[in-house]
Amino acid sequence: MSDRKPSSLTIWLGLADNAFTRQKTVKFGDSTAVNSGRFWSILIVVVLALLWITGSILNWIEPFYWPTIGGTWERIVKLLSEGFRNTSLWEHLGLSVYRVLSGVIYGALVGIPLGFAMGLSSFARGLFDPIVEFMRPIPPLALIPLIILWFGIDETAKIFLLFLAALFIMTIAARSGVNSVRISKVHAAYSLGASRLQVLRRVILPNALPEIFTGLRTSMGVCWGTVVAAELVAAEKGLGSMIMIAKNFLQTDTVVIGIILIGIVGYAIEMIMRLLERWLIPWKGKG
């Protein structure tokens, strides 16, 4: 019976094992023997879409709780042409992204040198360690009240919050990047005649880049979550404020569209960062 080879389509769909997995006798516990299961992925998406469509057509849905597909489409068209509250959808989106990028960039500009100093000097390590270790477990959102007291609710306040969120992640990433350098590489560089500055620039920095980049990726993710939440609390524009205001007007469709956009942008940021990582740091994990 099982002599017949499965077709490449059933293998692609994950309904049959590929030639290597087929020969394995131990499959439970071997994570490489768990195939993509693509068929089931496609099935669940199709089923959910069909549910939404039929629900919309048969009027199962109360638009106050969840938008119909037709209503959502109309709202998308309207948001794209008129914007939301005199601000285009792209401006809401762009503003949120801009805040995240600013926060991450400032955080990296301060955090990376700080982390390097902590990894290279006892003085800097001793001086900043208590602060970094204390701030590390505090969720950035808990700082919002204090930041509103200091800066009010203008743009500076939001970017400062995101800066703080990114700062400690970047500091810790840079520090662990410095700490991860294998001593034989440093020794090799000195034995090849490198000066301390050259060791820093030509060995310690490139060696730390993979971890710095992982820090950037994490900061982007954390800041994206933080910006949306911060905009929920206090903002006129931005995706977070858009869905909060839409809620006040009982525009459930706008809320759902906003949530979907937030998800897509967050995912896109992660994908772009992974792509950049593969392109900029091909040696990651290969030392």
Partner 1 sequence: MSGIRIDDLSMIYEVPGGAPVEALSHVSIDIKEGEIMTVLGPSGCGKTTLLNILAGFLSPTRGQVLVGDHRVTGPGAERGVVFQQGALFEWLSVAQNVAFGPEMAGRPRAEIRKRVEELLDIVGLSGFGDKPVYALSGGMQQRVALARCLANDPELILMDEPLGALDALTREKMQGLVLQLWKEFGKTIVLITHSVEEALFLGERLIVMAPRPGRIEKEYRLPFADRGLVEDARDIKASQEFVETREEVLSMIWSMEEEIMGRGDGQS
| Residues near partner 1 (CB under 8 A) | 182, 184-185, 187-195, 198, 202-203, 206-207, 209, 281-283, 286-287
Minimum distance of partner 1 from residue 285's CB (angstroms): 9
Minimum distance of partner 1 from residue 173's CB (angstroms): 17
Specify whether the CB–CB gap between 227 and 46 falls below 8 A.
no
Minimum distance of partner 1 from residue 112's CB (angstroms): 17
Q: Interior CA angle at 161 toward 157 and 167, to 5°? A: 140
- Chain centroid to CA 155: 22
Closer CB to partner 1, 124 or 194, in the complex: 194
Structure-block tokens of residue 90: 């792209």
What does the alpha-carbon distance between residue 239 and residue 257 come to, in Å, rounded to a whole number?
A: 10
Minimum distance of partner 1 from residue 164's CB (angstroms): 31
Structure-block tokens of residue 84: 């939301």
Minimum distance of partner 1 from residue 208's CB (angstroms): 10
Closer CB to partner 1, 61 or 209, in the complex: 209
Minimum distance of partner 1 from residue 211's CB (angstroms): 13
Minimum distance of partner 1 from residue 183's CB (angstroms): 9
DSSP state, 87? B
Closer CB to partner 1, 2 or 191, in the complex: 191
What residues contact 63, with CB distance under 8 A and at least 6 apart? 71, 252, 253
Closer CB to partner 1, 14 or 206, in the complex: 206
Closer CB to partner 1, 216 or 242, in the complex: 216
Where does 61-180 have alpha helices with state H?
69-82, 89-120, 122-135, 144-151, 155-179
- Chain centroid to CA 87: 25
Structure-block tokens of residue 170: 């970047």
- Chain centroid to CA 117: 27
Closer CB to partner 1, 7 or 195, in the complex: 195
Structure-block tokens of residue 244: 């909060």
Minimum distance of partner 1 from residue 215's CB (angstroms): 17
Closest CA to 118 of 107, 131, 135, 105: 131
Specify whether the CB–CB gap between 72 and 253 falls below 8 A.
yes
What residues contact 147, with CB distance under 8 A and at least 6 apart? 157, 160, 161
Closer CB to partner 1, 12 or 190, in the complex: 190
Specify whether the CB–CB gap between 231 and 49 falls below 8 A.
no
Closer CB to partner 1, 186 or 229, in the complex: 186
